[in-house]
Structure 1
Amino acid sequence: MSSTTPQVPGTYVFDAAESRRGRALNRLCGSLKDAENRAEFKADEAAYCEAYGLTAEQRDAVLTRDWNRMMELGGSIFYVFKLAMVDGKSMQYLGGVFTGMTTEEFADVLKAGGRSFG
C-alpha cells in the first residue's frame, strides 16, 4: 500500500494506487464473467495469466488460489470473486478465508448480525 493510504488493522484499503497495481490481475478476473474466457482459463491457467501480463507474484497467487495474497497484490474483491466462482466458491467461503473462519462460521456470524468492531 502507498504510504499515504490510511492503515486499517486487519483490512486492505483498495485505493487508486492499489487499483493501478492490481490492474492486470483484476482484468483477468473480470474477464472470467464470459463463459468462453472461463473455458480458455480452465484449459491452461498459466497461459491465460501470461496473456493478461500478471506479475510473477500475481500469477502464483492465482495458480495456487492464494486469495489473501491476491488482495495484497492489488486485487479487488469484486473481481477476485469472479475467479472464486470459477472454482465453485461462494462469497461466504472467501469471507471465511479472509477472516480465518470456516465458511460455516463466517455464515453464522453474518446470520447473527456480523462482527462488532467497537
Structure 2
Amino acid sequence: MSADQDRWGIPGTYVFDLNLSRKGYAVNKMCNSLRYAENREAYLADEEAYMARYNLSEEQKQAIRDRDWLQLTRLGGNLFFFLKLGATVGHGLYPIGAQMRGESYEDFLKTRNVPEAT
C-alpha cells in the first residue's frame, strides 16, 4: 500500500489532494493544453518535444509513453486532465478505466450499466 493510501485508508484509491495536485501540476498542465487543436497536432507530430515543453519528470514522461493511466494517477495526474491526452491518442474513458482496474475492456464493460445491443 502506498503512503497516500495509508494516509487515507482507502485501498486502491488515490485521493487527488493538495500533495498530488502539486506533484502532478506539470503533467496536468500539459494535458490541459491538449484542449486546443493546434496543440494536439503538435503533440502527435512529436510527443517527446511536446513533453519537453512542460518540464515533466522522467517518471511522468514514461507513464505517458506507456499510456499507463494508473501510474499517471499515482504521479498526480487528474483524470479530468489526462482524458484530454487519452482522447488525443485514441483512448476513451472506458478503455482507460479498464486499464486502471487491471481488467480487459470486455470485463470492465460487464461492470458498467450498459444496455446489451439487440
Q: TM-score range by the shorter chain?
A: 0.7 to 0.9
- How far has the Cα of 1:42 moved from its partner? 0.7
- How far has the Cα of 1:104 moved from its partner? 2.3
Structure 2 match to 1:94: 96
- How far has the Cα of 1:108 moved from its partner? 2.1
What's the C-alpha RMSD, in Å, of the aligned pairs?
1.8
List aligned pairs for 1:25-44, cutoff 5 A. Answer: 25-44=27-46
Number of residue pairs matched by the alignment:
112
Q: Is the Cα–Cα contact under 8 Å of residues 7 and 13 in structure 1 kept in the other structure?
A: no
Q: Is the Cα–Cα contact under 8 Å of residues 18 and 74 in structure 1 kept in the other structure?
A: yes
Query: Which letter does structure 2 place at the counterpart of 1:97?
Result: Q
Structure 1 match to 2:74: 72
5+ long unaligned stretches in structure 1: 113-118
> Percent identity between the aligned chains?
38
2:8 aligned with 1:6 = yes
Q: Distance in 2 between matches of 1:91 and 1:66?
A: 13
2:54 aligned with 1:52 = yes
Q: Is the Cα–Cα contact under 8 Å of residues 86 and 92 in structure 2 kept in the other structure?
A: yes
**TM score, norm. by length of structure 2:** 0.86
Query: Which letter does structure 2 place at the counterpart of 1:6?
Result: W
**TM score, norm. by length of structure 1:** 0.86
The secondary structure found in structure 2 opposite 1:12 is coil
Using CA pairs below 8 Å that are at least 6 residues apart, which structure has the higher relative contact order?
A: 2
Query: Which letter does structure 2 place at the counterpart of 1:40?
Result: A
